[in-house]
Amino acid sequence: MTKFVSWNVNGLRAARTKGFDQVVTGLDADFFCVQETKLQEGQIDPDFIPGYHSFWNYAEKKGYSGVAILGRQEPLDVIRQIGHEGDSEGRALAIELPEYYLVNVYAPNSQPELRRIEFRMSWEDSFREFLHGLDQKKPVIVCGDFNVAHHDIDLRNPDEFRGSTGFSEPERGKLEQLLGAGFIDTYRALHPTEEKVYTWWSYMARERQRNIGWRIDYFLISERLRPRLEDASVYRHILGSDHCPISITLS
């Protein structure tokens, strides 16, 4: 069995003061993917978790975005570019392993009133083409913060937010396109009708305590990996960020 975890920590240095290292140790994953590290090279010891190699993609802008993969296994290759102008924002990181590619992503937020929707749509197309290219070589596991809720079941108040950032038709359509290109939403594959399962909550109005949230963090896998999918979990009660960790296990 191989276990993968993904977590948007909303600032890795802050998360480490709230128990991040202990969460990594406790979840005991083979690969741990992190989004929104908000770090620059040299601001953290790359070997800060014993037993894990670490791989990083930093944003050029300080204190912004950034992704990392912690892994117990050395990869064959590390890829930090998807071929889009957004590559400077440190949004994607892929490692090649003997059996598959593991891709960690922090999708662009479309911003209030969808101010950045054109950039987001362009980035989505480049990212889908990037994944398709990898998938031609070997199966792909892609995880991270996709910044979109797919269906009504994936957020607490869909009618209130329909058409808004994170639940607009263009954003949902791009996720649908990606799934249509040969990928599976692992959580829904195993829990197709489970309600009130979210991965992000606003800090406002005690929304996490009231479980008024959104499921915007995903593990997607190439369709041919579906027979190996053993588990998909959401760790709602692990704190330290406005997101919670999620995981999958493959045989």
Per-residue pLDDT tens for 123-175? 999 999 999 999 999 999 999 999 999 999 999 999 999 999 999 999 999 99
Select which of 30, 58, 101, 145 is catalytic: 145
- Label residue 96 exposed, middle or buried (CB < 10 Å: 0-12, 13-18, 19+): middle
- Burial letters for 13-45: b for 16+ Cβ neighbours within 10 Å, e otherwise? eebbeeebeebbeebebbbbbbbbbbbbeeebe
Mean pLDDT throughout 69-82? 98
Phi, psi for residue 205 in degrees, rounded to 5: 55, 35
Mean pLDDT throughout 224-240? 98
What pLDDT does 233 receive? Answer: 98
The question of whether 145 is a catalytic residue gets the answer yes
What pLDDT does 205 receive? Answer: 84
The chain-wide mean pLDDT, for the chain, equals 97
SS (HEC) of 226-247 = HHHEEEEEECCCCCCCCECCEE
Asked whether the beta carbons of 59 and 65 are under 8 A apart, the reply is: yes
What pLDDT does 72 receive? Answer: 97
Mean pLDDT throughout 111-118? 95
Residue 116 has pLDDT above 90, yes or no: yes
Task: Give the pLDDT band of residue 92 (cuts 50, 70, 90).
Answer: very high
Task: Give the pLDDT band of residue 79 (cuts 50, 70, 90).
Answer: very high
What pLDDT does 139 receive? Answer: 98
**Which residues are bridge partners to 94 per DSSP?**
79, 103
Task: Give the pLDDT band of residue 29 (cuts 50, 70, 90).
Answer: very high
Residue 46 has pLDDT above 90, yes or no: no
What pLDDT does 67 receive? Answer: 98
Residue 70 has pLDDT above 90, yes or no: yes
Q: Which residue is associated with the tokens 């071929």?
A: 83
Q: Is residue 43 classed as helix, strand or coil in its secondary structure?
A: coil
pLDDT tens digits, residue range 168-215?
999 999 999 999 999 999 999 999 999 999 999 999 889 999 999 999
Task: Give the pLDDT band of residue 122 (cuts 50, 70, 90).
Answer: very high
Select which of 106, 187, 198, 218 is catalytic: 106
The question of whether 159 is a catalytic residue gets the answer no
What pLDDT does 176 receive? Answer: 97
